[in-house]
């Protein structure tokens, strides 16, 4: 097993393969007091667009934390672990409400997790513009 950092827009095949496997992930966002808020989520990784996506309800704490940062977004991390293998993506998160962006996030979620999420009229997508990728596998 090797640990390394890499360009999130040009991942090596083993890193990308690991992100295509079905794994529960975590999302870390900062609370208003600066402390970390870590929650389990489903994440999709789109290296071509340099994005990670998390679907959620606009009323969730994670969405509220990102929204509180304003238009510039906030630094966050998503991580997945499987035994001794792990991979982390870091970047700047923003909440997107545009129907086409939400639909694309739902489509990618359904593809990765092999199930379509239940309808949610409050659904938004947290888009993370990726700046760093690292892992050990």
> Which domain range does residue 59 map to?
3-136
pLDDT at site 6: 86
pTM for the model: 0.96
pLDDT at site 137: 77
Phi first, then psi, for residue 81 (nearest 5°) are -135, 140
Mean pLDDT for the stretch of residues 110-130 = 97
Q: Which residues pair with 30 in a beta bridge?
A: 36
User: Average pLDDT, whole number, for the chain?
Assistant: 96
pLDDT tens digits for range 72-112: 999 999 999 999 999 999 999 999 999 999 999 999 999 99
Total tally of structural domains belonging to the chain: 1
- The CATH number that applies at residue 37 is 2.30.110.10
pLDDT tens digits for range 14-66: 999 999 999 999 999 999 999 999 999 999 999 999 999 999 999 999 999 99
pLDDT of residue 2 exceeding 80, the answer is: no
Count how many Cα atoms sit within 13 Å of the Cα of residue 36 in the half-sphere of its side chain.
9
Confidence band of 68 (pLDDT split at 50, 70, 90): very high
List Cα–Cα distances, 100 to 67, 106, 107, 108, in angstroms: 19, 10, 10, 12
Whose CA is closest to 128, among 26, 21, 36, 4?
Answer: 26
The answer for residues whose C-beta is within 8 angstroms of residue 51's C-beta and 6 or more apart is 45, 127, 128, 129, 130
Enter the tokens of residue 19. Answer: 């992100």
């Amino acid at each position: 097993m090797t640990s390394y950092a890499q360009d999130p827009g040009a991942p090596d095949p083993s890193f990308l393969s690991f992100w295509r496997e079905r794994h529960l992930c975590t999302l870390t966002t900062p609370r208003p007091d600066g402390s970390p808020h870590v929650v389990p989520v489903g994440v999709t990784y789109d290296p071509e667009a340099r994005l990670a996506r998390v679907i959620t309800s606009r009323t969730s704490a994670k969405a509220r934390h990102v929204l509180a940062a304003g238009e510039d977004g906030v630094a966050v991390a998503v991580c997945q672990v499987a035994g001794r293998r792990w991979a982390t993506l870091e970047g700047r998160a923003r909440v997107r409400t545009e129907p086409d962006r939400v639909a694309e996030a739902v489509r990618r979620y359904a593809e990765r997790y092999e199930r379509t999420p239940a309808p949610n009229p409050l659904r938004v997508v947290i888009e993370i513009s990726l700046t760093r990728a690292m892992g050990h596998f």
